[in-house]
Amino acid sequence: MGGGSAIAYLGTYTVDGMHLVATARTWAYNPTIEARSAFGREGKIDVHVRFEGIIDDEKGSIVGGIWEEGNPASILSAIFRHITALPE
pLDDT at 24: 95
Domain that includes residue 69, residue range: 2-81
Residue 1 clears pLDDT 60, i.e. is over it: no
In a domain, 88, yes or no: no
Comparing 12-21, 36-45, 54-63, which segment has the lowest mean pLDDT?
36-45
Pairing outcome for strands 2-3 and 61-68: unpaired
6 within a domain of the structure (yes/no): yes
Burial class (CB in 10 A: 0-12, 13-18, 19+), 61: middle
| Torsion-angle region of 29 (φ positive above 0: left; ψ -120 to 50: alpha; else: beta) | alpha
Q: Is residue 48 part of a domain?
A: yes
The secondary structure of residue 88, as a DSSP letter, is: -
What is the average pLDDT across 22-34?
Answer: 84
Residue 82 has a pLDDT of 79
53/63 Cα distance (integer angstroms): 5
